[in-house]
Amino acid sequence: MKRFGQWFLEAESIINRLRFEHSQVTERTKRGVFPAIAINAWIDTKPVGDIYLVNENNEWIVYGVNVLPDFQRRGIATALYRYAENLLNIKIKPSPSQTDDGKAFWQSRS
């Protein structure tokens, strides 16, 4: 088992190497057609995570967040949320339907 100090240094190294790319897309649902944003997180040339947000009725909703298993619990999801909040100039709220990992993420954020 890794000591906290070693884990923290590894996580910090990963966060410092992250870069982001985003694109605007359109989401077609049963409720209509809405603007959306896809954001990808990369380390070097490897995609390690993404977040997908849809703007329904002037409210940005997170449709999904994914981080590769080898990179989970290292701050990548948090970095994706922060990037999205800065890009869209909003504060993202938790979704009412969450996985256990999602619930743990939001509990750690509050």
pLDDT in tens, 71-85: 888 889 989 999 999
Structure-model confidence comparison of residues 106 and 12, the more confident one = 106
- What is the predicted pLDDT for the residue at 1? 47
pLDDT at 7: 46
The values of phi and psi at residue 23, to 5°, are: -145, 145
Q: What is the largest CA-CA distance in the chain?
A: 50
Residue 51 has pLDDT above 70, yes or no: yes
Residue 10 has pLDDT above 50, yes or no: yes
71 and 82 Cβ atoms separated by less than 8 Å: no
Residue 59, both tokens: 């409210």
Would you list the domain boundaries of the chain? Answer: 4-109
Phi, psi of 101 (to 5 degrees): -65, -40
User: H-helix or E-strand containing 47?
Assistant: strand 46-56
pLDDT exceeds 60 at position 3:
no
CA angle 20, 95, 15 (to 5 degrees): 25
Fold of the CATH domain 4-109:
Aminopeptidase (3.40.630)
